[in-house]
């Protein structure tokens, strides 16, 4: 490379003094292709981050806290009305089973109407802000896939939302 090419912005890779010395001292360990991949990744992250404002993060933090509160209230409401809490009952086993299944069906429908769309949207926004490789967002997305099944899973979803909020707050 000519001196002009070495000094051009296209060739720039911003590193701390320690890292630049390590890379310069070990050219076999750090290939041109590897360094160009680092640069491309850093530029993509910078472009993503430049589009995200503190308002975006703040809004998502407020929405996460509201969703967490709503999930806890939702669980309390539906758990208090859960017919399995009335066991033993004067009803027959089949009648009690029917009431429990009806309650579960209604609870799941309410969850899909009130909670799931909000959490799904938050996962999408958090993935945009924190990037597709965020462990916290991946964990939340995984927990969310089965959160409708029972109260404990819903509360685990609320905890996963808090972990995402913790990471967002440090951003």
Residue 64: φ, ψ to 5°: -65, -45
Q: 121-149 pLDDT, tens per residue?
A: 999 999 988 888 899 999 999 999 999 99
Where in the sequence is the domain holding 116, given as residue range(s)? 54-170
Q: 52-84 pLDDT, tens per residue?
A: 666 878 899 999 999 999 999 999 999 999 998
132 vs 157 pLDDT, higher one: 157
Model pTM score: 0.69
Same domain, 117 and 65: yes
Q: Which residue has the tokens 């916290």?
A: 136
Same domain, 90 and 119: yes
Same domain, 9 and 74: no
Q: 85-111 pLDDT, tens per residue?
A: 887 778 898 999 999 999 999 999 999
Same domain, 126 and 77: yes
CA–CA distances in Å: residue 145 to residues 35, 51, 149, 154, 165: 38, 29, 9, 10, 19
Reported for 47-52, long-range contacts at CB under 8 A and 24+ positions apart, including other chains, are 48/128, 48/131, 52/128, 52/129
Do 27 and 96 touch, CB atoms closer than 8 A? no
């Amino acid at each position: 490379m000519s001196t002009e090419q070495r000094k051009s912005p296209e060739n720039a890779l911003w590193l701390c003094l320690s890292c630049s010395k390590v890379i310069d001292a070990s050219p076999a360990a750090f290939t041109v292709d590897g360094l160009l991949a680092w640069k491309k990744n850093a530029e993509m992250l910078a472009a993503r981050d430049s589009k995200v404002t503190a308002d975006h993060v703040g809004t998502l933090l407020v929405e996460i806290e509201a969703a967490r509160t709503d999930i806890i209230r939702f669980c309390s409401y539906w758990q208090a009305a859960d017919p399995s809490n009335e066991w033993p009952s004067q009803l027959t086993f089949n009648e009690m089973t029917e009431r429990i299944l009806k309650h579960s069906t209604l609870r799941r429908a309410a969850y899909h109407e009130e909670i799931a769309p909000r959490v799904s949207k938050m996962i999408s926004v958090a993935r945009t802000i924190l990037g597709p490789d965020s462990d916290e967002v991946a964990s939340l997305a995984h927990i969310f896939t089965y959160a409708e099944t029972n109260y404990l899973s819903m509360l685990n979803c609320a905890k996963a939302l808090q972990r995402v909020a913790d990471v967002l707050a440090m951003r």
